């Protein structure tokens, strides 16, 4: 004798569809606070109208920085400027991990082959660890600064 297999009953698609529609309708309202905070976790807004910082797609930005926020070295923290000098000189670097390959796993920098980017620590005063600040250097003299451990980047450009 063959037994008939009973499958569990499925919920009506209407309920799931209504829930999805409500979520999609509310999505712009959920994203609005993140857009208005300037993109920083601390909620502080930053001005992009000064000559030292520019908005994405600035006419004077180099090709590798197109579409990114930019910052000039004089607007970086003093520790970041020191790290840039060490990178330009080839070291010596204070941390063992300085100069290691940066994987760009977050895909926030332009896509390149593995090994193209290297990371360097920007010391954080008062921190017992390496902290969250880094300079990422590309093989063609590109420099990117992150103050929040790869969450956001700014292209470091010369004035």
Render the burial of 113-139: b for 16+ CB within 10 Å, e for the rest.
eeebbbbbbbbeeeeeebbebbbbbbe
CATH class of 53-156: alpha beta
pLDDT > 70? residue 13: no
Domain ranges of the chain: 12-40, 53-156
Lowest mean pLDDT of 15-24, 61-70, 88-97, 121-130, name the range. Answer: 15-24
CB atoms within 10 A of CB 65: 24
Of residues 140 and 65, more confidently modeled: 140
In the chain, % of residues over pLDDT 90: 51
Q: Average pLDDT in the 63-81 region?
A: 88
Active site residues: 119, 149
Query: What is the spatial distance between Cα 58 and Cα 76, in angstroms, rounded to a whole number?
Result: 19
Give pLDDT, residue 11: 52
Q: How confident is the model at residue 114 (pLDDT cuts 50, 70, 90)?
A: very high
Region at 84 (left for phi over 0; alpha for psi -120 to 50; beta for the rest): alpha
Angle CA 140–144–147, to nearest 5: 160
Query: What is the spatial distance between Cα 115 and Cα 45, in angstroms, rounded to a whole number?
Result: 34
148-157: pLDDT as tens digits: 999 999 999 9
Tokens, residue 51:
């000559």
Q: Average pLDDT in the 122-141 region?
A: 93
Give pLDDT, residue 63: 72
Mean of the per-residue pLDDT values for the chain?
76
Q: Average pLDDT in the 73-101 region?
A: 95
Of residues 14 and 52, more confidently modeled: 14
């Amino acid at each position: 004798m063959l037994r008939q297999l009973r499958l569990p009953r499925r919920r009506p698609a209407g309920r799931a569809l209504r829930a999805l529609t409500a979520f999609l309708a509310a999505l712009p309202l959920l994203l609005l606070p993140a857009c208005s905070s300037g993109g920083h976790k601390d909620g502080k807004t930053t001005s992009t109208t000064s000559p030292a910082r520019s908005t994405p797609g600035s006419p004077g930005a180099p090709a590798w920085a197109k579409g990114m926020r930019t910052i000039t070295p004089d607007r970086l923290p003093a520790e970041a400027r020191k790290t840039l000098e060490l990178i330009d000189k080839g070291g010596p670097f204070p941390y063992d991990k300085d100069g290691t390959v940066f994987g760009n796993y977050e895909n926030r920098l332009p896509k390149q082959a593995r090994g193209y980017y290297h990371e360097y620590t920007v010391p954080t005063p008062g921190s017992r660890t390496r902290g969250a600040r880094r300079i990422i250097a590309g093989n063609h003299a590109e420099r990117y600064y992150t103050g929040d451990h790869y969450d956001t980047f700014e292209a470091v450009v010369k004035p």
